[in-house]
Amino acid sequence: MLRTSPFIAALMLTSLVACSGEDPAQPGPKKDDIDEPNPFAPTDLEDAVDALATALGDQTDASGVKIAVVANRHSNYWTPAQIGTGRAASSIGCFASFDATSDGESASQVEILNRKVGEDFAGISVSAISASGIEPAIGNAASNALNVITFDSDAAAGSQRAFYLGTVNYDAGKAAGEKMVELLGASGGKVAAFAGLSTAANAQERVQGMKDAFAGKNVELVQTYFDEIDFDVARTNVESALSQHGDLAGIVGVYAYNGPIALGVLEAQGKVGSLRLVAFDLDPSTLDGLAAGTVDAAIGQRPYWMGYLSVYSLYAMKALGPEQTMDVLKPWLSGQNGDVFNTGQDVVTPDTIDHYRDYLASLGISSS
Ligand code: BGC
């Protein structure tokens, strides 16, 4: 039977955290702190899971159903997404695989998708390395009766995927840009951006959002460096930027590892604090950097929920059919074609890092 309360484990963890905080030597948490919901808890996403679970009701055996979640390239950013994927599969009782390419090549991702079709999977959720390059594989899956959605990074307009589930990347880029404008204040200055996959919609949209946030302000994006999720290239890019643009005032790390790598270079060159640093995502080093004040802000995404909702949505599409599933999800869908499930974004700063860490602990994860 499907249960509507997949959060019991997380709630138990919250209670454990609360209990362990009851050190008699320390002043206890104030009543308000206990009653206040954590500002980072995405209740709308929990509601979407509940709506799907309710629509599914008592389903017959799900054990024969296989769902594939396919990320772009290996990195620890995906760990919470893997956990969400596994927990949703466990709640439903189906099987879910989590894959990513080791080389960041679109052709490798196409191969993974085609393999899933041959292995009788019911549905695929994919974060497209190349917005256009992935389409033939999506078409192949769809014509073999698999349901396909995109997550984290969408396919190009006109894709046969049913909907996109993830951050609205343009808005997230804009939020990063606005934060940088605020941090640089009256003096403004030059900013460099460091991003991963040059062919992925998420990187392109974030950079566009950032540029639009700088338009008409005293802040200039001097260059965007891509590294295709190669950490060595990412490091060299930061070193080159610092030597090419001696008067750089700010750095935006567009993918999860870009902020931590930039921070590492700044540390090595004794430049921490002399430039403003805005990261994407809450990698363990970004969390530590925010707590120490060496990272000024981070734009958080919700990869745990992208994994969780990918599996729930694709299972519902198999069990109830795509149309009924889209009907259930309608309140959460937006965008011109009503095919974007916005999982939301968070702006995390040194002032709010403790709340954010509490939220992660409530899910039993240590990064996002
Ligand atoms: C992006 C992912 C990417 C990851 C790399 C995230 O910001 O959304 O597409 O794989 O960074 O660590």
Q: Do the Cβ atoms of 214 and 221 come closer than 8 Å?
A: yes
Distance of alpha carbon 121 from alpha carbon 115, whole angstroms = 9
Per-residue pLDDT, 13: 39
Identify the H or E element spanning 362: helix 353-363
| Residues within a 6 A CB radius of ligand 1 | 72-73, 75, 77, 127, 152-153, 196, 202, 229, 255-257, 280-281, 301
In angstroms, what is the span from residue 254 Cα to ligand 1's centroid?
8
Do 8-167+302-345 and 169-300 have matching folds? Answer: yes
In angstroms, what is the span from residue 61 Cα to ligand 1's centroid?
34
Provide CATH code, domain 8-167+302-345.
3.40.50.2300
Distance of alpha carbon 130 from alpha carbon 159, whole angstroms = 12
Tokens 């590492």 map to which residue? 264
Nearest residue (CA) to ligand 1, atom 2: 255
In angstroms, what is the span from residue 64 Cα to ligand 1's centroid?
31
Q: Which atom of ligand 1 is nearest to the CA of 169?
A: 8
Q: Which of 231, 281, 301 to mutate to test the pocket of ligand 1 (most atoms within 8 A of CB)?
A: 281
Listed residue (211, 360, 217) closest to 290, CA to CA: 360
In angstroms, what is the span from residue 308 Cα to ligand 1's centroid?
17
Nearest residue (CA) to ligand 1, atom 12: 256
Nearest residue (CA) to ligand 1, atom 9: 152
Q: Which atom of ligand 1 is nearest to the CA of 254?
A: 7
Per-residue burial over 217-251, b if 16 or more Cβ lie within 10 Å, else e, is eebebebbbbbbbeeeebbebbeebbeeeeebbbb
Provide the residue count of the chain.
368
Q: Which of 75, 101, 207 to mutate to test the pocket of ligand 1 (most atoms within 8 A of CB)?
A: 75
Per-residue pLDDT, 35: 63
Mean pLDDT, the chain cut into blocks of 10 residues (368 residues total): 42 36 41 72 97 91 96 98 98 97 98 98 98 98 98 98 98 98 98 98 98 98 98 98 97 98 98 98 98 98 98 98 98 97 98 98 98
- What torsion do the CA atoms of 263, 303, 76, 180 make, to the nearest 10 degrees? -10
Per-residue pLDDT, 58: 85
Residue 97's alpha-carbon distances to 123, 148, 185, in angstroms, are: 11, 14, 46
Nearest residue (CA) to ligand 1, atom 8: 152
Provide CATH code, domain 169-300.
3.40.50.2300
Nearest residue (CA) to ligand 1, atom 1: 255
Q: Which of 72, 198, 210, 255 to mutate to test the pocket of ligand 1 (most atoms within 8 A of CB)?
A: 255
β-bridge partners, 194? 225, 253
Q: Count Cβ atoms below 10 Å from residue 127 Cβ, excluding itself.
A: 29
The full set of domain ranges for the chain reads: 8-167+302-345, 169-300
Per-residue pLDDT, 27: 42
